[in-house]
């Protein structure tokens, strides 16, 4: 039976010439292609009302949370920092509801970049609204203008982790973020960090909850690095 992967969708709501001014619900093509190639059936879950999250989760086997906007800081008890970038509160609230329901219904969650950060917030953790607030910041975590298929910084992976089985102790990743996990939620564990200590991967500390999050973007490199594709195969077929 094919595994149904629900990908929480994003929105383009400003007028964009290529879409003739229409608002658009979307997800990056890399997620769709990687899931299909791994044998899964991807379905995009459009941003909607929180009350519908349970019904969406009941229709899928696993949930994927993609990257995107910053997370509204009041959701972890802070006012917006001057360096906060675009937020979408409707997306925040809907995805928080999806996370809650996925945990309630015991559906596995794989989260990328913003998605990993949102899981931490959903479970009671906090974020650095900008890396300038992190005193040990030494690594360039936004790799522009370097193209996304090129890995630019290293991470060290804990042996007691899913990632260690897939990547080994040391790996190099691409990087597109200016926010990061600050206080870790009690129900999570860190499984990889960059050289300057930024959290690069999380898993659930509770073996009964199947949660895996990464700070980088495997959907942009899976076609040039087989280990990144192995991550999607693990998500679709084992997590």
136 is catalytic: no
79 is catalytic: no
> Tokens representing 188?
């999570």
Asked whether 99 and 118 are in contact (CB, 8 A), the reply is yes
Distance CA 213, CA 202 (A): 5
Looking at 113, 141, 177, 228, which residue is catalytic? 113
Four-CA torsion 180, 40, 12, 91, nearest 10 degrees? -50
Looking at 177, 203, 217, 228, which residue is catalytic? 217
203 is catalytic: no
Kindly report the number of other CB atoms within 10 A of residue 179's CB atom: 24
Query: Could you tell me how far CA 203 lies from the centroid of its own chain?
Result: 12
Residues 6+ apart with CB under 8 A from 58: 105
Looking at 101, 203, 219, 228, which residue is catalytic? 219
Asked whether 68 and 86 are in contact (CB, 8 A), the reply is no
Asked whether 60 and 66 are in contact (CB, 8 A), the reply is no
- The angle, 0 to 180 degrees and rounded to 10, between the axes of the packed helices 29-37 and 226-237 is 70
Active site residues: 113, 217, 219
């Amino acid at each position: 039976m094919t595994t149904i992967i629900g990908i929480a969708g994003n929105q383009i709501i400003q007028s964009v010439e290529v879409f003739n001014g229409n608002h658009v619900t979307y997800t990056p093509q890399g997620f769709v292609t990687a899931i299909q190639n791994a044998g899964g059936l991807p379905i995009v879950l459009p941003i909607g009302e929180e009350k519908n999250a349970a019904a969406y989760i009941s229709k899928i086997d696993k949930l994927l949370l993609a990257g995107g906007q910053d997370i509204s800081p009041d959701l972890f008890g802070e006012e917006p920092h001057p360096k906060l970038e675009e937020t979408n509160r409707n997306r925040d609230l809907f995805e928080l509801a999806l996370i809650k329901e996925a945990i309630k219904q015991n559906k596995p969650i794989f989260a990328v970049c913003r998605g990993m950060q949102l899981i931490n917030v959903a479970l009671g953790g906090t974020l650095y609204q900008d890396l300038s607030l992190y005193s040990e910041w030494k690594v360039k975590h936004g790799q522009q203008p370097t193209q996304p298929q090129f890995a630019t910084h290293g991470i060290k992976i804990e042996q007691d982790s899913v990632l260690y089985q897939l990547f080994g102790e040391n790996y190099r990743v691409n990087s597109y973020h200016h926010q990061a996990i600050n206080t870790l939620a009690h129900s999570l564990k860190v499984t990889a960090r960059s050289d300057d200590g930024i959290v690069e991967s999380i898993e659930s500390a509770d073996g009964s909850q199947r949660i895996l999050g990464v700070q980088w973007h495997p959907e942009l490199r899976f076609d040039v690095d087989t280990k990144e594709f192995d991550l999607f195969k693990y998500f679709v077929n084992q997590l």
